[in-house]
């Protein structure tokens, strides 16, 4: 065998010289990462030799296999080598980024790194490639990058969460291939609205709130929390949907929606139980998180979502600290230039309640009457517009039929003038009889 290792299950046995001077074997756990967010992590640990293994001392001779079979391959715990986590630098490879993708433009940047709009050479589709800053290995940024990959891998696919495709490492950089959202971020839309002095309408605000709440509901039901909800982490996908594709009477308005909001940037995601909290943007941070009270983390996402809606409604930039920061944490809404309905204002105010228990959950939000009524109103408005188009088309069809009849009559007059004259005379005589001209009157008398 020499220096080669005998593979056992998914781990490995490596020969070493023990105190007796004879070869002995040490079981080394497999060289893989464990995703802490997946429910299969415990099963992977058990099956891959990360725990509950014991080391069996044996000599390197012909009876090794028999002794291993007799002991069921059990190894002693005290001599188990701990598993080594794969770092970013250890998974380097030839530049997959340059080989598989053609970079179109840079579409964003932040503390973590930059995001590029790329087209994949093989399938011709556009993706967003997130590339981390350098250096990364061994730093806190590496932990955040891996946390984002773990979270994306577990969350899978949801219409209101940015879709994840793959991740890899190159030259001390982490690269994450995500869905490309052609509408940019909500922060970009808010900046543009501020530039032209416009705001999201109340119907649009309710739609934004409902869609992001649906994404949060999905994340929270997976026992995860986002912990960094804000406009720059909500992305917009714009899809043109023809009105003819909207089925009349369809209660599901998702098919007719032209704007879809998606939650992205999962670098601060953590578990609800035994969380590892990395504080996000202080402007959207709930006070209980600052006080290190992690007993109700999903409600911190609700708090941040409420302030995100305020920003979309036209509120001034939120404070990072100071008196106004504390006033918001006491339940006072930021000043909003447009007048919102009382029902929406009350809902948003409830979402920033100082008591997390009083804030609605994401499950309650997606069922809230204020948001569902807005959703139904949107669908009803589409049906009204569809009926108006149908009525307009009916009028056009009627006018077209009249024009065709007039054209046919004109052609007949040119081709058969005598027939037209005769027909006109007959019609005149018929009309005269109907109105009583030259018409004989008759009198009837009945005698009883």
Give the model confidence (pLDDT) of 172-220 as tens digits.
888 999 999 999 999 999 999 999 988 899 999 999 999 999 999 999 9
Nearest to 126 by CA among 71, 57, 177: 177
Burial environment of residue 102 by CB neighbours within 10 A (0 to 12, 13 to 18, 19 or more) = exposed
pLDDT recorded at residue 374? 60
Residue of 40, 141, 171, 228 with catalytic role: 228
Q: Would the annotation count 111 as a binding residue?
A: yes
Return the pLDDT at 67: 47
- CB 15: neighbour CB atoms within 10 A? 18
Predicted confidence at residue 282, as pLDDT, reads 93
Q: Is 110 annotated as a binding residue?
A: yes
pLDDT at 75: 45
Reduce the secondary structure of the chain to three states and give it as a string: CCCCCEEECCEEEEEEECCCCCEEEEEECCCCCCCCCCCCHHHHHHHHCCCCCCCCCCCCCCCHHHHHHHCCCCCCHHHCECCCCCCCHHHCCCCHHHHHEEEEEEEEECCCEEEEEEEECCCCCEEEEEEECCCCCCCHHHHHHHHHHHHHHHHCCECCECCEEEEEEECCEEEEEEECCCCCEHHHHHHHHHHHCCCCCHHHHHHHHHHHHHHHHHHHHCCEECCCCCHHHEEEEECCCCHHHCCCCCCCHHHHCCEEEEECCCCCCEECCCCCCCCCCHHHCCHHHHCCCCCCCHHHHHHHHHHHHHHHCCCCCCCCCCHHHHHHHCCCCCCCCCCCCHHHHHHHHHHCCCCHHHCCCHHHHHCCHHHHHHHHHHHHHHHHHHHHHHHHHHHHHHHHHHHHHHHHHHHHHHHCHHHHHHHHHHHHHHHHHHHCCCCCCCCCCCCC
> Is 256 assigned a ligand-binding role in the annotation?
no
pLDDT, residue 1, reads 43
pLDDT at 99: 92
Q: Would the annotation count 2 as a binding residue?
A: no
**Count of CB atoms within 10 A of residue 80's CB?**
20
Walking along the chain (448 residues) 10 residues at a time, the average pLDDT comes out as 40 54 59 68 59 45 46 47 57 77 91 89 92 72 82 91 93 91 95 91 94 97 96 92 48 60 93 88 95 95 97 94 95 91 95 96 94 66 69 82 85 70 61 54 52
The full set of domains in the chain, from first to last, is 6-84 (no CATH), 90-179 (3.30.200.20), 186-379 (1.10.510.10)
109 is in an annotated binding site: yes
pLDDT, position 346? 95
Q: Judge whether 251 is annotated as a binding position.
A: no
Is 228 known to be catalytic? yes
For residue 407, the model assigns a pLDDT of 85
Return the pLDDT at 10.
43
Question: Model pTM?
Answer: 0.65
């Amino acid at each position: 065998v020499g220096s080669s290792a005998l593979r056992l299950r998914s781990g490995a046995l490596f020969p070493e010289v023990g105190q007796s001077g004879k070869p002995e074997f040490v079981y080394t756990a497999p060289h893989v990462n464990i995703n802490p967010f997946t429910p299969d992590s415990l099963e992977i640990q058990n099956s891959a030799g990360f725990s509950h293994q014991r080391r069996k001392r044996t000599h390197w001779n012909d009876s090794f296999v028999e002794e291993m079979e007799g002991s069921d391959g059990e190894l002693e715990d005290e001599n188990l080598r701990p598993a080594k986590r794969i770092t970013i630098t250890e998974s380097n490879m030839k530049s997959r980024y340059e080989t598989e993708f053609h970079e179109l433009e840079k579409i964003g940047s932040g503390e973590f790194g930059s995001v590029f709009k790329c087209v994949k050479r093989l399938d011709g589709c556009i993706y967003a490639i997130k590339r981390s800053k350098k250096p990364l290995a061994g730093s806190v940024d590496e932990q955040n990058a891996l946390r984002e990959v773990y979270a994306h891998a577990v969350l899978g696919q949801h219409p209101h969460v940015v879709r994840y495709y793959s991740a890899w490492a190159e030259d001390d950089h982490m690269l994450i291939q995500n869905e490309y959202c052609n509408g940019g971020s909500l922060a970009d839309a808010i900046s543009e609205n501020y530039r032209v002095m416009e705001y999201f309408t109340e119907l649009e605000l309710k739609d934004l709130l409902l869609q992001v709440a649906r994404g949060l509901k999905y994340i929270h039901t997976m026992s995860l929390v986002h912990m960094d909800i804000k406009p720059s982490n909500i992305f917009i996908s714009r899809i043109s949907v023809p009105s003819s594709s909207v089925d009349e009477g369809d209660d599901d308005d998702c098919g007719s929606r032209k704007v879809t909001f998606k939650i992205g940037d999962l670098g601060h995601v953590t578990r609800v139980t035994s969380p590892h909290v990395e504080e996000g943007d202080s402007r959207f941070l709930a006070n209980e998180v600052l006080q290190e009270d992690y007993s109700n983390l999903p409600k911190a996402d609700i708090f941040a979502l409420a302030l995100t809606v305020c920003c979309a409604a036209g509120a001034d930039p939120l404070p990072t600290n100071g008196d106004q920061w504390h006033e918001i944490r006491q339940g006072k809404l930021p000043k909003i230039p447009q007048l919102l309905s009382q029902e929406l204002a009350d809902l948003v105010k409830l979402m920033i309640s100082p008591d997390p228990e009083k804030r609605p959950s994401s499950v309650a939000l997606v069922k809230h009457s204020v948001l569902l009524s807005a959703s139904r109103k949107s669908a009803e408005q589409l049906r009204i517009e569809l009926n108006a188009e149908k009525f307009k088309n009916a009028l056009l069809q009627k006018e077209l039929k009249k024009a065709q009849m007039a054209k046919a009559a004109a052609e007949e007059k040119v081709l058969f003038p005598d027939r037209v004259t005769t027909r006109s005379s007959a019609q005149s005589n018929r009309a005269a009889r109907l109105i009583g001209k030259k018409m004989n009157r008759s009198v009837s008398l009945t005698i009883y």
